[in-house]
Chain A
Amino acid sequence: MSFLEYIIQQLINGLTIGAVYALIALGYTMVYGIIELINFAHGEIYMIGAYIGIITLGVLSAQGLTQSSLALAMGIVLVVSMVYCAAYGFTMERIAYRPLRQAPRLSPLITALGMSIFLQNYVMLTQGARDKFFPPLFTGGINIDEVRISYIQVFIMGISVLLMIALQLFIKNTRLGKAMRATAQDKKMASLVGINIDRVISITFIIGSSLAAVAGIMVGMYYGLVNFYIGYVAGLKAFTAAVLGGIGNIAGAMLGGFLLGLLEAFAAGFIPPPHGAQYKDVFAFTILVLVLIFRPSGLLGEQVAEKI
């Protein structure tokens, strides 16, 4: 494998995982844009999405659907998981965040953390602490010289890009999207012109959570296994991506996700093995600190003076 091919290979790997980070980061950034809260439990929603995916897939393959029609089965898995994650996200907002809308800033942060711990342990207790395996459904791939793109990578990138475009269209063109933008700008003003703020916030959580569900399933298929603590690391990384792009900025979250995926792939590829893998997570975190110190508004975010 030549050097150029190696770089291209890392590029593809990076873009794949970056697409997933971007999907999760969207959830963080949308919620932050509207209620200025870091939803710590968002990573857990992603993990729940992966679990629901595995469980649904198990049921479907017992019925023999995965063998007869893979596309239909995948569709069902995605939809079920999205519905469930949306339900979890919605419930979470109702329980942990809505009652604290007027409380000091510290309170919702603490409930968010509590929620995250709760969901993590809930899944651990009901599903066991061991890794769960995703049945390999897409095998094979495309080989161009030495560079290999597996079908799963194509699937991940295809679906993510599709969802991101859909989200952009939704926010730009629909009434609800407009309401969301208005709420993000000024909650009080938006409610004065007749926007139901509570509903908009619920919808934001629902959309963010369904995107996380898709990300969960895709990562599960990509790595072949999930466990109850994947949400923690993925959450931290997606948050890094959101901050990198400028938190609250939707295009920024996408850019940040892809960028972080690429940076990570190249760091893991070029730093000698024992350290590259061990310190991979430290690496993402270092980026986060650097961005926060030198450019807290992120790449695409505007410098906003704090509201007094």
Chain B
Amino acid sequence: MKKILRVMVISLWFGFLTFPFMGNHAGLLIVLLLAGGGLWLVITTLRNTKTVKQWLERASFYQQGFQRNLNRRDRRIVLGILLVLALLFPLFNNRYVVDVAVMCGIYICLALGLNIVVGLAGLLDLGYVAFYAVGAYLYGLLSINYHTSFWLALPLGALMAATFGVLLGAPTLRLRGDYLAIVTLGFGEMIRIILNNWDRVTRGPNGLIGIEAPSLGKKFVFSQPIHYYYLILLIAIITIFVVNRLNHSRIGRAWIAIREDEVAAEAMGINTTRMKLLAFALGAMWAGLGGVFFASKMTFISPESFTFFESVIILCMVVLGGMGSIPGVILGAIVLVVLPEMLRDFYLPFMQVDFSRARMLIFGMLMVLVMIFRPQGLIPSARRKLELHPKKDEDILEQKPEFVYEVASKSQEL
């Protein structure tokens, strides 16, 4: 009874909040909220019944067993199957689908790069798209003015973005995390404003037109989405490989130590400033790489492609997928690229807007909801599963010794 009252009060409260903005639609919202609240009540009551509880427990038991049994050899087989599927993918799909897949590839690289900064080192970078812009404009300008080859621009773009990362990071990384977020946000905006206003070089809002597509030798020029698909697949695989190795290296462990407790990490002899700078540079590098590829694919770039929202979308991928988790971030990137494409023609019930305009609204909400209800993301990182969280610390004291031993031996495996 109390719960029902609560749902009603909350619904009415939101109706009150939204009334001046939505007018009569606020009534509709109240009805929807009431319905949703009712559904939630039914689900939670059902969940507390004995049979369902047992059922859920059994399901989670099987899931854990499955994950534990997936040893190294099995994992290789799964990866091999995924690779073959990825290689065959464009042969069975039309241009549009392949094009979307190429976008997925770009965002996978970007999100994995940001994952180094946010997920591993725990630094909130809200101007990540600036490095993407640096890569894209570098290739754009080099290609238009000097006809530089794409293959040369690719490492150059990565290097340039990493340099910018160091330049931005050096003065700001001493700051506390929240300041860093604001400074990087401002930096991202600054790059965009400069691109917009420095007409002589960047041609301002008109952007750069006629960027050359990559070519192999003299004869083969990239033109179809499928060409770009295989190129980005290669880049993505390299990215995944490198990021994975980094994650399990001494550097990766240092980053995670910094994320968890900077003071303790420093006390253990980690040079925190240098490690954070490295995270910034290595994260920026992938954005630069992605930028060069993006410019070559689009053959046209303008400051519009590098707004703050782009940074937010990439961050959302990392958060949704699971900070620090490589498979999670890949999944997050794919979901957030594919879903908006699928829902392109879907209309929201009230507000009379189509989905593509409400995209950012949903992304914003998603970030809040994920952080509250599932902070570990869609696929939690393996390390995270083994972490001892404060709440569980107390449980551990009450656990049988075998359990404590199991946790301890598992954490040594990593």
Using CB atoms and an 8 Å cutoff, list the residues of chain A in contact with chain B.
36-38, 40, 51-52, 55-56, 84, 87-88, 91, 95-96, 99-100, 102-111, 113-123, 125-127, 232, 236, 239, 243, 278-279, 281-282, 285, 288-289, 292-293, 296, 306, 308
Contact = CB atoms under 8 A, between A and B. Distances in A.
Nearest to A294: B171
Contacts of B22: 126
B364 A279 contact: no
Nearest to A119: B364
Contacts of A105: 177-178
A279 B172 contact: no
A279 B197 CA distance: 9
B17 A113 contact: no
Given A95-B368, A285-B186, A296-B175, A51 B126 contact: no
B193 interface: yes
Contacts of A282: 189-190, 193-194
Contact of B178 (A109, A117, A120): A109
A32 to B, nearest CB: 8
B175 A122 contact: no
B183 A117 contact: no
B256 interface: no
A233 B182 CA distance: 12
Contacts of B309: 117
A117 B364 contact: yes
Contact of A281 (B177, B182, B189, B315): B189
B193 to A, nearest CB: 6
Given A108-B371, A113-B364, A125-B353, 18 more contacts: A38-B181, A52-B20, A95-B368, A102-B390, A103-B375, A104-B122, A105-B177, A106-B177, A113-B312, A113-B367, A114-B363, A115-B368, A117-B312, A121-B358, A122-B21, A126-B25, A292-B175, A306-B263
A55 B118 contact: no
B372 A111 contact: yes
Nearest to B190: A282
Contacts of A125: 351, 353, 357-358, 361
B183 A288 contact: yes
B16 interface: yes
Interface in B314-333: 315-316, 319, 323
A116 B20 contact: no
Given A114-B366, A118-B365, A308 B263 contact: yes
Contacts of A278: 193, 197
B375 A236 contact: no
Contacts of A104: 122
A91 B17 contact: yes
Interface residues of B, number: 55
A101 to B, nearest CB: 11
A87 B16 contact: yes
Interface in B10-40: 13-14, 16-18, 20-22, 25
B185 interface: yes
B41 interface: no
Contacts of B351: 125-126
A236 B319 CA distance: 23
Nearest to B353: A125
A100 B372 contact: yes
Contacts of A38: 178-179, 181-182
22 contacts: A38-B181, A91-B14, A95-B372, A110-B124, A114-B364, A114-B365, A114-B366, A114-B367, A114-B368, A117-B360, A118-B361, A121-B361, A121-B364, A126-B351, A243-B179, A282-B189, A282-B194, A285-B190, A288-B183, A288-B186, A296-B175, A296-B179
A117 B363 contact: yes
B329 to A, nearest CB: 14
B109 to A, nearest CB: 21
Contact of B122 (A103, A106, A288, A293): A106
A293 B179 CA distance: 11
Given A87-B16, A121-B361, A100 B371 contact: yes
Contact of B182 (A99, A118, A239): A239
A289 B361 contact: no
Contacts of B186: 236, 285, 288-289
A61 to B, nearest CB: 15
Contacts of A103: 371, 375
B312 A127 contact: no
Residue in A52, A239, A285, A296 whose Cβ sees the most chain B Cβ within 10 Å = A285
A291 to B, nearest CB: 10
Interface in B60-102: none
Nearest to B318: A110
Contact of A110 (B172, B319, B365): B319
A174 B295 CA distance: 60
A144 B361 CA distance: 49
A203 to B, nearest CB: 18
Contacts of A40: 181
